[in-house]
A and B are shown apart, each in its own frame.
Chain A
Amino acid sequence: MNNNGNNNKSLLRFTTAGSVDDGKSTLIGRLLYDSKSIFEDQMDHIRESSKRLGREEVDLSLLTDGLRAEREQGITIDVAYRYFATPARKFIIADTPGHIQYTRNMVTGASTANLAVILIDARKGVVEQTVRHTYISSLLRINHIVFCINKMDMVSFDENRFLTIRAELELLVRKLGIEDAHYIPISAKYGDNVVDPSINMSWYTGMTFLKLIETIDIKHDFLNSAARLPVQTVVLPQSEEYHDYRGYAGRVAGGSFKPGDEITVLPSLLKSKIQSITVFEKSIDIAATGESVTLTLEDQIDISRGDLIAGEGEMPLSGQDIMMMLCWFNERPLRPGARYLVRNNTHETSCIIRSINYRMNIDTLEKEASTESLKMNDIANISIRTSRPIFYDPYIKNRITGSLIIIDEATNETMAAGMIE
């Protein structure tokens, strides 16, 4: 456990999206099984359930479909989280349903992912669902996308078929401006190129799926952003020993902080210098992105929850007129003129919906203008006006300080997720 800015990278979070028959569950099942993450009693349960539900073979999707309704209907409704580890890395899988009616679940799963896995049926090639998943991954700024061209066994492991699909995907990747894309021909059912290299596809010389996700470099994803710390809570011990102590607790949301750094507090714009950074009793020399720390400052200035501490370099943006890409989650539609609460980082204020600028058709990637309201699962570009200024970075620069949620004050429900432009 070091603090030199290279930590946190032995954990990889990835998201998968897919429908019942594209082999997603088989792929996950194989990864869990081959990495010995399925236990005997879980396997027994799955065998029994498969039999009870009248499935012909042992159905590994029962492992990820946790709720009674999901098992009975044979569908994934909600995001399910799965865990496995190899000697190289620990993995968290956010397994989400792939159908358009579950777009909101895909967005949720993608929001914390470092990498997205998109499965393509080699017989069918690029279909609407492929476009949708790839678009959502790029919208949520997942930097790494792995396209698994699955069911290669059903196209006689044909290299040309793979190359045709790959060429089509490369067009999509370029169009969406995705930085890092990988293409692997696999057969999840028989294990080709999943954990072990395929003997049926000797023409493929790249990495197996597991090797790729074990070794892919994600640490650069966290560099180059400006130093940010949203204040969660102020630590006031009020004890004899720490009589005048005031600590500002939060998780570093970008860049890094060091003792001695000059900082600016938003919205007050007051400045000070970092006196110390602590993690529990230990003082540390640098706090990198992702670390939960407590800062003390050289000056006694007024800082409270909801404030944003910015380091040296580029300042956050601040304003009341905010434009964003938004995914609407609720059955009640969004209409211009409606009022909601808006929360970004630890800061909350009210907002009014000014306009819906366009709705995105996520199957064709066409922008549809003149939309009067948004339905559940719609993705759109909207403008809001906030009651007090919010401070942020464009989502494209920082996924934490650039994101927000919209809350209905009457029901307290989370209505939407927004990515600020």
Chain B
Amino acid sequence: MKSALQINNEHLKELEDEAIFVMREVAAQFEKKVILFSGGKDSIVLVHLAKKAFWPARMPFSLLHIDTGHNFEETITFRDDLARELNVELLVRYVQDSIDDGRVSEEKGINASRNKAQSVTLLDAIEELNIDVAIGGGRRDEEKARAKERFFSHRNEFGHWDPKNQRPELWNIFNGRKNVGEHFRVFPISNWTELDVWQYILNEKIKLPSLYYSHRRLVFKRNDVYLAWAPFMQLKPTEEVFEADVRCRTIGDITCTGVSLSEANTLEQVISEIAATRVTERGGRYDDRRSEAAMEDRKKVGYF
């Protein structure tokens, strides 16, 4: 098999041009603009693109993190450092607050996750902060419902997405007009694949949290997926916690982010592993495995 590093990647320039174009349209068409920042690689790439799009001016966006409280610690440190370095406003809203306020109830049981509850906290934050556009790192290659997503995706006054009634999007003309109370989600890297993101990170020398590289950590195995262990996680009697060398392929809420056994210490090694893999990156995500249309259903009611 060919090495991933030998793949012709001139196309990244065009993907970057397209993403920067979209960022600039957002800047021009909206008032209160945020980048949804999770600390994951896709949101880090978004921030990098925003930096490039408006240089030498500061990017006209704040960062918004919807914090489930179930974090990898490294992600939070990385987030705070990045916001400081770029001198942009960092907004954090907590799922715990939504639970305490009774806005959402905590899932119970073995596979309990706060992933779904994030949508409530996010929509509340959008209303509270008068946000009219949230830029996300969603990509169409990630998941089948996302393959139908527009660059400029309209959300009604309930924050809901109507996949069967989306605005047509032609050429490079993006229609961001909306009524009061409605908002948009915008996905500048819609046309990127997972491998594109990694190759871009390599080309641009973008710094990532250490979690993406091999490190030793306590893990356990559930239905063929390795999960990072954290004190608040419930284990089945048959599940055992053990130490292993792993890296994350995506970073999200710790309860639903799978890790893979890996010794890859450099970006080049990570990319080679990813290019050779036969499972999608969301294959390790428990949130998508819940039903066939899990993502479509979550997205309709306000998920990222």
Contacts and interface: CB of A to CB of B under 8 A. Distances in A.
Bound pair: A and B?
A: yes
A49 B146 CA distance: 18
Interface string A79-104: 11111010111101000000000001
A375 B12 CA distance: 40
Contact of B24 (A1, A71, A233, A237): A233
Contacts of B28: 232-233, 305, 346
Contacts of A11: 10-11, 14-15
A385 B12 CA distance: 40
12 contacts: A10-B10, A78-B163, A81-B147, A87-B2, A111-B170, A238-B57, A280-B52, A290-B17, A400-B171, A414-B169, A417-B168, A417-B171
B216 interface: no
B10 A40 contact: no
Contact of A66 (B14, B147, B277): B147
A377 B277 CA distance: 43
A83 B140 contact: yes
A405 B10 contact: no
B13 A81 contact: no
Nearest to B8: A10
B10 A403 contact: no
B173 interface: yes
A283 B178 CA distance: 37
A403 B283 contact: no
B279 A39 contact: yes
Contacts of B163: 67, 78
A66 B170 contact: no
Nearest 4 A/B pairs, CB to CB: A66-B144, A11-B11, A412-B177, A292-B20
Contacts of A92: 191
Contacts of A344: 173
Interface stretch (A159-167, A188-196, A241-249): A241-249
Contact of A292 (B7, B17, B146, B170): B17
A61 B278 CA distance: 20
A277 interface: no
A290 B195 CA distance: 22
B32 interface: no
Nearest to A10: B10
A82 B140 CA distance: 8
Contact of A400 (B9, B55, B172): B172
A7 interface: yes
Interface centre among B17, B51, B163, B277 (most CB of A within 10 A): B17
A237 B191 contact: no
A87 B53 contact: no
A51 to B, nearest CB: 12
A290 B10 CA distance: 13
Nearest to B52: A280
Nearest to A42: B280
Interface in B262-304: 277-280, 283, 292-293, 296
Given A232-B28, A233-B27, A67 B296 contact: yes
Nearest to A95: B147
B166 interface: yes
B248 to A, nearest CB: 17
Nearest to B295: A66
Contacts of B124: none
Interface in A33-69: 39-42, 45, 49, 63-69
A40 B12 CA distance: 26
Contacts of B166: 78
A281 interface: yes
B140 to A, nearest CB: 5
Nearest to B193: A83
Interface string B111-153: 0000000000000000000000000000011001111100000
Contacts of A247: 56-57
Given A249-B53, A292-B21, A85 B173 contact: no
Given A39-B280, A81-B191, A407-B175, A8 B167 contact: no
Interface in A1-17: 1, 7-11
Contacts of A9: 10
Contacts of B172: 112, 251, 400
Contacts of B148: 66-67, 78-80
